Amino acid sequence: MLKEYKTVAEVAGPLMLVENVEGITYQELTEIELPGGEIRRGQVLEVDGDKALVQVFEGTSGINIQEAKVRFLGRGIELPVSMDILGRVFDGMGLPRDDGPKIIPDKRLDINGFPINPYARDYPSEFIQTGISAIDGMNTMVRGQKLPIFSGSGLPHSRLAAQIARQSKVLGTEEKFAVVFAAMGITFEEAEYFISDFRRTGAIERAVIFINLADDPAIERIATPRMALTAAEYLAFEQDMHVLVILTDLTNYAEALREISAARKEVPGRRGYPGYLYTDLSGIYERAGRIKGRRGSITQLPILTMPEDDKTHPIPDLTGYITEGQVIISRDLHRKGIYPPIDVLPSLSRLKDKGIGAGKTREDHADTMNQLYAAYARGKEAKELAAILGEAALTEIDKKFSQFADEFEYRYVAQGEEQDRTIGETLDLGWELFSLLPRAELKRIRDEYLDKYLPLLEEEQEDGN
Amino acid sequence: MEVGRVIKVSGPLVIAENMGEARMYDMVKVSDTGLLGEIIEVRGDQASIQVYEETAGLGPGEPVYNTGMPLSVELGPGLIEAIFDGVQRPLDVVWKKAGDYITKGVEAVALDREREWEFVPRVKIGDTVQAGDILGTVQETIPVEHRIMVPPQIASGKVIEISQKKATVTDIIARLETENGTIELTMMQKWPVREGRPYKEKLGPYIPLITGQRILDTLFPVAKGGTACIPGPFGSGKTVTQHQLAKWADAEIVVYIGCGERGNEMTDVLMEFPELLDPQTDEPLMKRTVLIANTSNMPVAAREASIYTGITIAEYFRDMGYSVALMADSTSRWAEALREISGRLEEMPGEEGYPAYLGSRVAEFYERAGRTICLGSDNRDGALTVVGAVSPPGGDLSEPVTQATLRVVKVFWSLDATLAYRRHFPAINWLLSYSLYQENVDPYFRELLGEKWIEMRREAMRILQEEAELEEIVRLVGIDALSPEERLTLETAKSLREDFLHQNSFHDVDTYTSIDKQFRMMELILNFHHEALKVVEKGELDLDLEKLFALPVRERIARAKYVEEEDLAMLQEIDTEIKQQIGQFSGEGGEEEIA
């Protein structure tokens, strides 16, 4: 029988101080029973002698100091897992939210997990074809990568994430695949968009969904991504599945963290976020990857909305330092009606070099990728110059680059929401665009590839003329 | 020794009472699972302990055992090719014991106690030796001869026993007779990490560390024994630059510290370094490398310790007389660990929540670099070069960690997000970066490559400076406002940027450029400039600049970077072509197509 304490001394914001406790440990799971029998859960944030500071996940409203009963459960927060979690919807604390039965656990896992030993990691190098040129061609994703989408309010990041979830595949393999989706503080409509898309495509049967909506308790969001990643680790490393984890929206998560930090009166770092935000976020993002000798993998696709589209805001900034690149959604491109509005210049996939080339995508991929970047960047510069001085101020060659930049945006970046381009199609599209430029300007491409791929196009054009 | 008792747990910080005997920076073991910790504050009989492992599940009442020793590293054969965590636990051993995840309380000694090494003595019985003298050697890997030294604590003594034998790091390999009686020596020493290892004298650094990276060697060299920092926003290529240095720098030993960074980056090093060959020795790079990996999700206190663990190992190899290069990626994460612990100690914060002692800690760390005369009677010298990456939030260089670092380091490689977006890598801004070693290493280059090298470097720098000014004009009034000379300057600057400074670290040939090749590449670009300048200065009215810039030799200059080191003669050919083509061009008055 667990001891029950009725010694709550203070309740302030999401925090509760319990006195005269004994045998309490750091990060222990706590149950708070309200007079009506309602049970809320919390976690020990600090133990100091006989006092325990507890963060209450479901909020502290209605807690009465005299009547609340507190039990410490002697373990951390755990998620019961089994293969039956596939196809189910849970709340932010891992309780079923759909009408399905309770999960009969195969095992219970601590949601904080443990860091993967760097020695045990296997380097991600398998190309994932998302069918989206701006990603496959320019910012190639690989299995086991953590690649966030940096977006802003009102931009179509959800549609993009759903499209990636729908179309992602590793070429030439038939392996078990699952999607884990965690919603943190997003609206009902946004969450519903994902769920109905999963339903429409049948993906729901191999999806595990954790939902904490905007009107659900904010502090619960601290646990939600950890629940999702624990489920993902189980599926990936114990059930050999390739798991894509979509976490949305990390900005809400970080705000919940700030709320607790402020309630604890901690010395704030930048913009009021706690100094340990980096360490805390890395505890989430670093749970992606591959492990030697295990078949499964965890690929993470976190979404965050940048306040005021500001990439230097602490949340995107620290995220960028931990994740292996970022896909940046641009408001300008969105206004131009380009979908997906991926701004390829500041976007980056750090692991792309290991996932591309002969045997993985195609031999010319690395060179053409570099050339497309360089040419697009130069074209954008030329366009800026033209905006100031007028088109006439451009040299002949700059005009060509300027035209290239436009074509690149409208033909290469832009594509349909249901359009699933193969990597071959994406690469060929790149060569088609190169034909707008003189060969001498294609400095980043090896001669052998120019000889091999460029003339085909030139012939075609000549035939056309 | 008395057993303490935990009274408070807050994240990585634990406070224990009944710790009267504790001294600052003693190592302790917390609870019966044996979590490693270090005392960072003592008050009355209470001690604040930073714990190097996850503290979830820890509570008041649990015991604390003091080891009475400061946090120390084990130094001896077995360091090379190893991968350690921040408190020197070998991660491969941890993996064998605990599996794929790093769980709590895994005990693993740093150096393998079972492995036997062939010890070859260098001194004889009857010799008098002093601190730092080399007793003998162990061929640890093919390129690294591990020199077993008399520990610094022993002033001097007479060898009364020593012999060639197979020995483990704990076997006795020699006995010395000293004033304080007979001392038994093993191949392993221990040294507290927060204390620099002693040396006889510090020397000025005069020899450049050749990195094979053109922008670094040519424009902003770091000297052996010097310090450098690489600040830059995310995605600007800090880690790739650090990896390039670890791969190609002509140091004999490389210590690479992954401090609070990505797990996959360490895996990358672990998988790649055994495959790549060191251009100096033709042996796998791993055979000269020591790795320290405390990734971002590993305990934060151990992250704080990791850079000290790394630099102590590096100093130990310097003591042997080696040139050692240490890369710390990233010192900002270390500073954040300091901040986190400081916050938990409820210290009064300085700027942006960092502790007020941040600046002095940063300075202390970099000051452990340097070229020294090592302890020992042979007066050998060693060098320790330290390169620290800095990750300024939002790329803002005015933040405390960058500023504290810039106050002490001598080389600043400024990474630039705009260059990175243009995929100009290494994205080191040539106008903002500096090296204060330029003067120190010039005599070395002068001897190696002649005065011309220095002249060319100055000229290149001047052209790049001019480009920045001219671009300003172009932006305001358009390119037509420029004189032909100025347009040539712009064109040459572009060539310098694209054909020389831009270097692809993922290209087999381009990833490393010898100094000789750097010299010739630079020569080609500037020769073209000079020859073209002659044509331009003739001042002919019908001069077609576009055509001049489009001479076919330009493309060959651009591709010179892909010429293999064995085929450098080809660069000579290009040089001849420059003269021919420009000669032809000016002969024809630029009117006709050049065949």
From first to last of its 465 residues, what are the pLDDT tens digits of chain A? Answer: 688 999 999 999 899 999 999 989 999 999 999 988 999 999 999 999 999 999 999 888 889 999 999 999 999 999 999 999 999 999 998 999 988 899 999 999 999 989 999 999 999 999 999 999 999 999 999 999 999 999 999 999 999 999 999 898 888 777 888 999 999 999 999 999 999 999 999 889 999 999 999 999 888 999 999 999 999 999 999 999 999 999 999 999 999 999 989 988 888 888 889 988 999 999 999 999 999 999 999 999 999 999 999 988 999 999 999 999 999 999 999 999 999 999 998 899 999 988 899 989 999 999 999 999 989 989 998 998 888 888 887 888 899 999 999 999 999 999 999 999 999 999 999 999 999 999 888 888 888 999 999 866 555 555 444
pLDDT at residue B230, rounded to an integer: 96
Residues of A in contact with B422 (CB under 8 A): 345, 373-374, 377
Say whether B336 sits in a helix, a strand or coil.
helix
Structure-block tokens of residue A60: 């502290």
pLDDT tens string A65-113? 999 999 999 999 999 999 999 999 999 989 999 888 999 999 999 999 8
CB contact under 8 A, B258 and A388: no
Count CB-CB contacts under 10 A for residue B579: 13
Residues of A in contact with B94 (CB under 8 A): 117, 119
Which residue ranges of chain B lie beneath pLDDT 70?
Answer: 1, 588-595
User: Does residue B294 belong to the interface with chain A, where contact is any CB pair within 8 Å?
Assistant: no
Share of residues in chain A with pLDDT > 70 (%): 97
User: Does residue B103 belong to the interface with chain A, where contact is any CB pair within 8 Å?
Assistant: yes
Across the interface, which of A122, A286, A291 has its CB nearest the CB of B297?
A286
Structure-block tokens of residue B590: 């630029």
CB contact under 8 A, B91 and A118: yes
Residues of A in contact with B394 (CB under 8 A): 311-314, 317
pLDDT at residue B1, rounded to an integer: 65
Task: State the Cα–Cα distance between residues A149 and A167, nearest whole angstrom.
Answer: 17
Residues of B in contact with A282 (CB under 8 A): 260, 295-297
Residues of A in contact with B558 (CB under 8 A): 443
User: Does residue A282 belong to the interface with chain B, where contact is any CB pair within 8 Å?
Assistant: yes
pLDDT at residue A270, rounded to an integer: 83
pLDDT at residue A465, rounded to an integer: 41
pLDDT at residue A456, rounded to an integer: 62
CB contact under 8 A, B394 and A313: yes
Residues of B in contact with A292 (CB under 8 A): 100
* Spatial CA neighbour of A388 closest among B482, B469, B476: B476
Q: Angle, to 10 degrees, between the axis of helix A365-389 and the axis of helix B451-477?
A: 50
Task: State the Cα–Cα distance between residues B389 and B332, nearest whole angstrom.
Answer: 8
Q: Alpha-carbon Rg of chain B, whole angstroms?
A: 28
Q: Which of A121, A143, A323 to substitute to test the interface with B, most B CBs within 10 Å?
A: A121
* Beta-strand pair B289-294/B83-84: parallel
pLDDT at residue A464, rounded to an integer: 43
Q: What is the pTM of this model?
A: 0.92
Structure-block tokens of residue A422: 């193969």
Burial class (CB in 10 A: 0-12, 13-18, 19+), A335: exposed
CB contact under 8 A, B298 and A115: yes
Task: State the Cα–Cα distance between residues A122 and A144, nearest whole angstrom.
Answer: 9
Task: State the Cα–Cα distance between residues B557 and B525, nearest whole angstrom.
Answer: 7
Which residues on neighbouring strands pair with residue B42, listed in sequence order?
Answer: B47
Q: What angle do CA A28, A34, A40 make, to 5 degrees?
A: 40
Across the interface, which of B60, B99, B100 has its CB nearest the CB of A47?
B60
pLDDT at residue A460, rounded to an integer: 53
- The arrangement of strands across the sheet holding B145-149 comes to B145-149, B134-139, B117-121, B165-167
Chain A residues 152-181 with a CB less than 8 Å from chain B: none
